[in-house]
Amino acid sequence: MPRALPACNQPTWSSTCAGLLLGFFCYALPWSVFAALPIPADNGSALHIQGSNTIGATLGPALVRGLLEEQGLRAIRIEAGAADNEQKIIGSDSDGRRVTIEVAAHGSGTGFTALQDGSADLAASSRPIKASEASALAALGDLQSRDAEQVIAIDGLAIILHPSNPLGALRIDQLAQIFSGELQDWAQLGGKTGPITLYARDDNSGTYDTFKELVLAAHGTTLAASARRFESSEALSDAVSQDPHGIGFIGLPYIRQAKAVAIAAGESQAMLPSATLIATEDYPLSRRLFLYNQPDSPNPWAKALVAFAHSPRGQAIVAHSGFIAQTVQAITVAPDSAMPETYQALAREAQRLSLNFRFQQGSAVLDNKAQRDLERLVSYLTAQDKLQRKVVLVGFGDAKADPVRAELLSKLRAMAVRRELARHGVILRQVTGLGDELPVAANNADDGRLKNRRVEVWVY
């Protein structure tokens, strides 16, 4: 039976932060206004963004609007672009000069193609750049470096059904069987007799790429030819919510009127796509949302939008748009008998923070998101006066033939985070490793093992 993942209650807020939207950095200094950015003399577009529909539909335009507001522009409006799923965000300065930023949302893969041919300044993607894409773009710099790869939000792929469907949970291997067409009747899953109708995003979609990687390819299957394909996330969700036999996959903000089901992977507990479990990336179908920019981009608007997306106000916009902001919050975890005793004791006395540190493939080096999370964590600890012996790091890993080795490796990962924090003056209370306990993914594939190799942060 799957081992239980610790349940998280609602985040506990300090009185100064109560009532604020998820995404506001209560502990951060106010966001300062950027220096004035140049306005194109010919009223042409200052910035072109191409890629993910998940980002381009609402989040991208909302971040652009926020940046224009920071620039002091007025009369900001959003207009339809030249084609479907394209938008123009337009503002004017006090002299009546116009600034236009264009967002085209035709799928993550199109963003990297547009970077390569020079038709876009930023690629929006709901999946990491592929090695082949990074190689093709090598002339622009290292697109896998921290300077180029920007995680702007966390999202979760929700598996959605018609609200009348009685099923409450599915395993990832069952999803692979369903979407490959191996299972074709709901009765095979314990539901009411009736044909299963599949709904999926189109081939250019990062949502589809993520589902294909996490579900289909992981189980050696491909999407059934009978699946109905959609470019629009909203249209897919609405179609499932009107079809009693339907099942689809979608980004978290697009559940709309459909019903989300809990998902289990390997030995993990079945988990609903909640904000807390997605923020820590424990939820089996969680994913990162990216902006990719040329490391030495000559376009100051591209650099400014990336900086704004990482800022407190930018992350507040992320949360307001229905995604998960990369904030640091203290979360109360209920002790459970299925947890290791040391973990139960920690849950009784301390609070878990809403981030996990993860590592580059086959390495003890923190990945790009973790490197930025270090800065967020230090800011939080400084504001909360928790720099001295208030922090516990708990390392986890994938299963090994020797449990002692698994425990040692998990502690070494936590020690790697400790070294980075020590450089910022953080003195820890404790560092421990729990080996392969409390898995959040299956250990029979590289992606699952990479997800299980993580370090949690707890504070007293």
The whole-number pLDDT of residue 274 equals: 84
Residue 29 has pLDDT above 50, yes or no: no
- Sequence-separated (6 or more) residues with CB below 8 Å from residue 141: 147, 148, 294, 295, 296
One domain, residues 145 and 223: no
One domain, residues 376 and 430: yes
One domain, residues 95 and 124: yes
Would 202 be classed as within a structural domain?
yes
One domain, residues 265 and 226: yes
Q: Contact, 47 vs 297, CB < 8 A?
A: no
Query: Which pTM value belongs to this model?
Result: 0.82
One domain, residues 340 and 407: yes
One domain, residues 335 and 383: yes
Answer with the residue of higher pLDDT: 6 or 347.
347
Q: Contact, 139 vs 294, CB < 8 A?
A: no
Give me the domain span that covers residue 198: 155-277
Would 285 be classed as within a structural domain?
no
Residue 18 has pLDDT above 50, yes or no: no
- DSSP run (H or E) holding 210: helix 206-211
One domain, residues 59 and 112: yes
One domain, residues 197 and 316: no
Instruction: Say which DSSP state 247 is in.
Output: E
CATH number of residue 366's parent domain: 3.30.1330.60
Structure tokens at 435: 């080996």
Residue 8 has pLDDT above 60, yes or no: no
pLDDT in tens, 144-182: 999 999 999 999 899 999 999 999 999 999 999 999 999
Q: Contact, 37 vs 91, CB < 8 A?
A: no
One domain, residues 251 and 297: no
Q: What confidence category does residue 253 fall into, taking pLDDT thresholds of 50, 70 and 90?
A: confident
Q: Contact, 76 vs 89, CB < 8 A?
A: yes
- Among 57-66, 194-203, 394-403, which is the least confidently predicted range? 394-403
- Sequence-separated (6 or more) residues with CB below 8 Å from residue 18: none
What is the residue-averaged pLDDT of the chain? 90
Would 35 be classed as within a structural domain?
no
The whole-number pLDDT of residue 72 equals: 95
Q: What confidence category does residue 308 fall into, taking pLDDT thresholds of 50, 70 and 90?
A: very high
The whole-number pLDDT of residue 34 equals: 59
Total tally of structural domains belonging to the chain: 3
Structure tokens at 144: 């896998």
CATH number of residue 256's parent domain: 3.40.190.10
Would 173 be classed as within a structural domain?
yes
Amino acid at 135: S
Structure tokens at 248: 């689809």
One domain, residues 422 and 436: yes
pLDDT in tens, 353-401: 999 999 998 788 999 999 999 999 999 999 999 999 999 999 999 888 8
Residue 51 has pLDDT above 60, yes or no: yes
- Sequence-separated (6 or more) residues with CB below 8 Å from residue 203: 107, 229
One domain, residues 64 and 134: yes
One domain, residues 138 and 250: no
